[in-house]
Amino acid sequence: MLRSLTQNLPLSRYRIDRDHAARERPALFDELAADPDSRIVALWRGEVLLAVSSTDAADAPALALLPWAAAPADALRVYLGRTLEAEGDVPAGAAITAVVFDDESGPALEPNVTRWASPRTLGHRLGDRDAGLAIEALGMANWHATHQFSPRTGNPTVSVKAGWVRVDAETGAELFPRTDAAIIVGITDADDRLVLGSNALWESNRFSLLAGFVEPGESLEAAVVREVYEEAGLRVIDPHYVGSQPWPFPASLMLGFRARLDPAHANALRPDGTEILDLRWFSRDELAASLGDILLPGRTSIARAIIEDWFGSPLDAP
């Protein structure tokens, strides 16, 4: 039986206490400004700031956790929580806050000791603490960026409760962070071959699993059956959950499934022509032999984890 993947998914790792009760303290940011152990995670244009050591650890990058004083006075802040254990020069219990830098202040933070990078491409190389911090910070920053105005009234909104709520400036109505649920599924046939598809937005030789958003009033399992049929013309049965990870690019939670082709249907591959342009079945030998010709999803993604779980070992591909 397929084991749960959640503990091994790159962006599901987390080593911080979110300390939710502290968000209610109106003077929290004033307290943190006076705390020498407080640190910030810097964000700019969807990227996080990394520390560059003398060895430039390409295989194990780390967040540049800056002192509170490094944040611009008017920048958006979101309290992320407290560290659970000491790591580097950051003690256990240190308060960590995400700070969104603008186009003037962001580039100034990239001298010889730091660099900007995307968690989408390097999340799998970050440590447990930093992976969790980066994804929490980016998810919240993306939510703030898309909720500057109330969807109910059109009025401007302001950030309150340490960045975890936005309030309609005129009516006082509260808005809370939202995450979009999306399923992603590894489908196998009677010969245990895996189907992979090429999305219209990708390079023509990039292939991945089928995925889609859950619709209102729909269970996760129903979304699996519907999305696979819509995108590929395949009827599947026995969808079962294998793990999840946040994917804040911009605001999703990816819910991983495996499913089997329904033998009661003909199930000819039928790309929808809009989202999916090509579909192929792969045996393990065929996939291994194709790696020089096709591209797989990146190692940060849950798609890669599900593919490698089916394959039985890590694949020798970027």
- Encode pLDDT of 134-151 as tens digits: 999 999 999 999 999 999
Dist CA 275 CA 280 (whole Å): 15
- Report the pLDDT value the prediction gives residue 1, as an integer from 0 to 100: 36
Residue 17 has pLDDT above 60, yes or no: yes
Within 10 angstroms of residue 190's Cβ, the number of other Cβ atoms is 8
DSSP structural state of residue 4: P
Token digits of residue 317: 């591909």
Give Cβ neighbours of residue 100 (< 8 Å, ≥ 6 apart). 43, 44, 75, 76, 77, 141, 144
Strand duo 95-100 + 39-44: pairing: parallel
Strand duo 157-160 + 165-168: pairing: antiparallel
- Report the pLDDT value the prediction gives residue 3, as an integer from 0 to 100: 54
Residue 266 has pLDDT above 70, yes or no: yes
Dist CA 96 CA 81 (whole Å): 6
DSSP structural state of residue 151: T
Give yes or no for a contact between 42 and 99, defined as CB atoms under 8 angstroms apart: yes
Query: 281-300 burial, b for 16+ CB within 10 Å, e for fewer?
Result: bbeeeebeebeeebbbbbbb
Residue 111 has pLDDT above 90, yes or no: no
pLDDT, tens digit, 9 for 90 and up, residues 160-188? 999 999 999 999 999 999 999 999 999 99
Nearest to 314 by CA among 15, 1, 10: 10
Within 10 angstroms of residue 80's Cβ, the number of other Cβ atoms is 25
Token digits of residue 27: 């003077």
pLDDT, tens digit, 9 for 90 and up, residues 269-316? 999 999 999 999 999 999 999 999 999 999 999 999 999 999 999 998
Query: Residue 4: which pLDDT band, with cuts at 50, 70 and 90?
Result: low
- Report the pLDDT value the prediction gives residue 54, as an integer from 0 to 100: 41
For residue 261, give the amino acid letter. Answer: L
Dist CA 63 CA 76 (whole Å): 19
Dist CA 138 CA 122 (whole Å): 14
- Rounded to an integer, what is the distance from CA 166 to the centroid of its chain? 22
